[in-house]
Amino acid sequence: MNPVSFNCTVLRDGHQSLAATRMNSSDMLPIAPILDTMGFSALETWGGATIDAGLRFLKEWPFDRLDALKKAAPKTPHMMLLRGQNIVGYTNYADDVVEAFVATSAKHGMNIFRIFDCVNDPRNMETSIRAAKKAGAQAHGTICYTTSPVHTTESFVKMGCELAEMGVDAVVIKDMAGLIPPYETHELVAALKKNINVPVWIHTHDTAGLGASTYLSAIDAGVDACDVSIAPFANGTGQPDCLRMLALLEGSPRKPSFDLDKLNEVQEMLKPIYDSLDKFTSHKNEVVDSDTLRYQVPGGMLSNFRTQLKEQGMSDKFEEVFAEIPVVRKALGWIPLVTPTSQIVGVQAMLNVKFGRWKNISPQAADIALGYYGRTAAPVDPEVQKLCAEKMGKEPITCRPADLIKPGMADLRKKLEEKGLPTDDEHCVIYAMFPQEVEAYYKKPEPKAEAPVAISTPAPAAAGISAQVSGTAGNRSMNIVINGQSHSVQVERVN
Ligand code: CO
Q: Residue 447: which pLDDT band, with cuts at 50, 70 and 90?
A: low
Ligand 1: distance of its center to the CA of 382 in Å? 33
Share of the chain above pLDDT 70, in %: 89
Q: Is the pLDDT of residue 488 over 70?
A: no
Which one of 3.30.413.10, 3.20.20.70, 3.40.190.170, 3.30.1050.10 gives the CATH number of domain 5-285?
A: 3.20.20.70
Ligand 1: distance of its center to the CA of 1 in Å? 27
Ligand 1: distance of its center to the CA of 178 in Å? 9
Ligand 1: distance of its center to the CA of 302 in Å? 16
Q: Is 209 left (phi over 0), alpha (psi -120 to 50) or beta?
A: left
Instruction: Calculate the average pLDDT of the chain.
Output: 90
Beta strands 477-482 and 78-82 are: unpaired
Ligand 1: distance of its center to the CA of 248 in Å? 21
- Weakest-pLDDT range from 245-249, 287-291, 406-410: 287-291
- Residue 198: CB atoms within 10 A of its CB come to 17
Ligand 1: distance of its center to the CA of 440 in Å? 28
* Mean pLDDT for the stretch of residues 112-141: 98
**Which pLDDT value is given to residue 53?**
95
Ligand 1: distance of its center to the CA of 237 in Å? 9
Ligand 1: distance of its center to the CA of 411 in Å? 33
Beta strands 112-115 and 78-82 are: parallel
Instruction: Please report, as a single letter, which amino acid is at residue 220.
Output: D
> Could you tell me the CATH superfamily of domain 290-403?
Conserved carboxylase domain (1.10.472.90)
Ligand 1: distance of its center to the CA of 343 in Å? 15
Task: Summarize pLDDT for 159-212 with one digit per residue, the tens.
Answer: 999 999 999 999 999 999 999 999 999 999 999 999 999 999 999 999 999 999
Q: Residue 22: which pLDDT band, with cuts at 50, 70 and 90?
A: very high
Q: How far apart are CA 99 and CA 383, in angstroms?
A: 37
Q: Is the pLDDT of residue 483 over 60?
A: no
Ligand 1: distance of its center to the CA of 147 in Å? 16
Ligand 1: distance of its center to the CA of 252 in Å? 26
Of residues 133, 141, 111, the one with CA closest to residue 36:
111
Ligand 1: distance of its center to the CA of 83 in Å? 12
| Surface-to-core class of residue 265, CB atoms within 10 Å of its CB (0-12 exposed, 13-18 middle, 19+ buried) | middle
Ligand 1: distance of its center to the CA of 389 in Å? 33
Ligand 1: distance of its center to the CA of 9 in Å? 9
Task: Summarize pLDDT for 267-321 with one digit per residue, the tens.
Answer: 999 999 999 999 999 888 999 988 888 888 887 777 777 777 888 888 899 899 9
Ligand 1: distance of its center to the CA of 179 in Å? 12
Q: Is the pLDDT of residue 469 over 70?
A: no
Ligand 1: distance of its center to the CA of 300 in Å? 11
Ligand 1: distance of its center to the CA of 338 in Å? 9
Q: How far apart are CA 183 and CA 444, in angstroms?
A: 51
Ligand 1: distance of its center to the CA of 476 in Å? 19
Q: How far apart are CA 266 and CA 269, in angstroms?
A: 5
Q: Residue 493: which pLDDT band, with cuts at 50, 70 and 90?
A: low
* Domain locations in the chain as residue ranges: 5-285, 290-403, 408-442, 453-493
Phi, psi dihedral angles at 485 (to 5 degrees): -105, 130
Ligand 1: distance of its center to the CA of 204 in Å? 6
Ligand 1: distance of its center to the CA of 226 in Å? 12
Ligand 1: distance of its center to the CA of 417 in Å? 36
- Weakest-pLDDT range from 371-380, 407-416, 454-463: 454-463
Q: Residue 471: which pLDDT band, with cuts at 50, 70 and 90?
A: very low
Ligand 1: distance of its center to the CA of 203 in Å? 7
Ligand 1: distance of its center to the CA of 396 in Å? 31
Task: Summarize pLDDT for 326-338 with one digit per residue, the tens.
Answer: 999 999 999 999 9
**Which pLDDT value is given to residue 450?**
53
**Which pLDDT value is given to residue 264?**
98
Q: Is the pLDDT of residue 68 over 80?
A: yes
For 6, 30, 44, the CA distances from 189, given in Å and listed in that order, are 16, 36, 22
| Surface-to-core class of residue 319, CB atoms within 10 Å of its CB (0-12 exposed, 13-18 middle, 19+ buried) | exposed
Ligand 1: distance of its center to the CA of 205 in Å? 6
Q: How far apart are CA 272 and CA 251, in angstroms?
A: 33
Ligand 1: distance of its center to the CA of 493 in Å? 10
Ligand 1: distance of its center to the CA of 160 in Å? 19
Q: How far apart are CA 21 and CA 27, in angstroms?
A: 12
Ligand 1: distance of its center to the CA of 19 in Å? 13
For 187, 195, 437, the CA distances from 451, given in Å and listed in that order, are 48, 50, 11
* Mean pLDDT for the stretch of residues 108-133: 98
Ligand 1: distance of its center to the CA of 109 in Å? 22
* Mean pLDDT for the stretch of residues 370-379: 97
Ligand 1: distance of its center to the CA of 211 in Å? 11
- Biggest CA–CA distance in the chain, Å, is 64
∠ CA 40-280-85, nearest 5°, is 60
**Which pLDDT value is given to residue 301?**
75
**Which pLDDT value is given to residue 310?**
82
Phi, psi dihedral angles at 268 (to 5 degrees): -65, -35
Q: Is the pLDDT of residue 462 over 60?
A: no
Q: Is the pLDDT of residue 222 over 90?
A: yes
Task: Summarize pLDDT for 257-268 with one digit per residue, the tens.
Answer: 999 999 999 999
Q: Is the pLDDT of residue 472 over 60?
A: no
Same fold, 5-285 and 290-403: no
